[in-house]
Amino acid sequence: MTQRSLVTRRGFLGAAGAAAIERGQAAGQAGAQVISGETEHFWYRAQPAGKYIDSQRGDKAFAYAAGRIHMSADNGHSWPYSAEFPDASSITFSHILKNGNVVFATGASLYLSIDNLKSYRKIKVEAQDGSEYVPHTPANPELPGWYFHTLPGAVSWDVDGAEMMVWGNYCNVLGGATPVNIYYSADSGRTVKIAYSFGQNPFFSDNGRPGGGRGGKLLGDPGNKVLCRHVHAVAYNPAENAFYACTGDLDRGLGHECHWLRGTYNKANDKWDWKVLHSDFANSRYKCGGLNFVNGRLYWISDANGPKPYDRGIFCCAPEDLLRPERHTMLFNPEVESGNMIIQDGVMIASHCAPASPLDTGFIISTDMGRTWAQHDLKAFGKRSPTRLHEKNGEGWFRADLRAGWIERAEVVFIKPKPASSRGGR
């Protein structure tokens, strides 16, 4: 396999025919100018000023700003639907389902609208036994925990003829200590339940600090010995009718926190069967994210850190070969940790974790399903970590959060891959 790597450190300055950039304040603020430009492989633009566009699906988009939530039906060109929502600035997660329902969350609360925001209601989450799942009472009321925040943008799939949402929370970093769970909905968000609960990690008890720590209230399933900090990704493989999940983060003396799990769902009795496939060190390829299944093959990108040497790269294999590294194919090694990747229509987009990267806002792209690769630095945005990569909207634009450092919400960027004909046939 030929691997061609173009590293563009100049980003928006580019080469011949490079982008024109409109500089100004950060996108999303009233009166801001919008950053836009192009690289050899894609066009890019910041979100329009005034709203934070949190998710997209087809022609629909969900956004929030100044105590209101908004819905667009034309890829964000207009916003005819909106509702008052006082906690809009606290939204940490949203997802638009195929039927147009939107699920969104603030901290420990989850909401559903089924009518383009004419109304919305709070969702009562159910525990595995069918009882109501009640979030803990936080030591600091301002830090209720990131119960539903997640890193991937794709969190629903067609399963046995119906759409299912399945996602895990990326937590215990900001927002307060949080139990680590995998959630699911099999009825378009009307009911959300716990698919799997991880154990009580004493390193992330609720001691009132933004990421939790020692000495506070223990959170999670007291009967589960599998400990982690948070979930990096969940993905569905239709070829197996099975879900895979991977977690992080480090090794703190109580066993590994980096796990791979495989889960199957029995629709008839509404039950899950999860097995831990593998647990490993933080510097391993198994500390990762960006799980994708394409034509029965498993793809992921390593988030390896901790002690050197690092086992990093973008990998693929048959699912049954996950635990046999000699059968993995390394498609590309960006030589920096990352846990975010999306694959759609033969285009693979991943990103750099900014604090560990020599680039400011680093994107990794292959437009030919991993045969050739490029890396681009969108320096106009400053030091940012792209995450929550959403599938293309109706006009062909991928969407990504840009996080200050590696997790604090900052801006949104849209990326549209160029056809090969516009890149000299490459």
- Is 38 part of a structural domain of the chain? yes
E strand segments, 142-270:
156-159, 162-168, 181-185, 192-197, 230-237, 242-248, 258-266
Better pLDDT: 28 or 333: 333
Q: Is residue 396 part of a domain?
A: yes
Q: Does 351 reside within a domain?
A: yes
66-111 pLDDT, tens digit per residue, is 999 999 999 999 999 999 999 999 999 999 999 999 999 999 999 9
Domain annotation covers residue 333: yes
> Above 70 in pLDDT, residue 287?
yes
Q: Which of 141, 134, 219 is nearest to 175 (CA)?
A: 141
Q: Is 252 exposed, middle or buried (0-12, 13-18, 19+ CB in 10 A)?
A: middle
What percentage of the chain reaches a pLDDT higher than 70?
A: 91
pTM for the model: 0.91
Would 361 be classed as within a structural domain?
yes
Quick one: tokens of 382? Answer: 């400053």
Domain count across the chain = 1
Contacts of 31 (CB under 8 A, 6+ apart): 25, 49
pLDDT at residue number 346: 97
Q: Nearest-CA neighbor of 75 among 412, 396, 416, 417? A: 396
- Omega before residue 179 within 30° of 0, cis: no
Domain annotation covers residue 381: yes
CB 365 within 8 A of CB 41: yes
Does 52 reside within a domain? yes
| Range of the structural domain that residue 418 is part of | 1-71+287-426
Least Cα distance to 336 among 350, 349, 353 occurs for 353
pLDDT for the residue numbered 96: 98
Residue 279 has pLDDT above 70, yes or no: yes
- How does pLDDT run across 156-171, given as a tens digit for each residue? 999 999 999 999 999 9
Alpha helices in 262-399 (DSSP H): none
Q: Model confidence at 316, in pLDDT bands (50, 70, 90)?
A: very high
Q: Is residue 240 part of a domain?
A: no
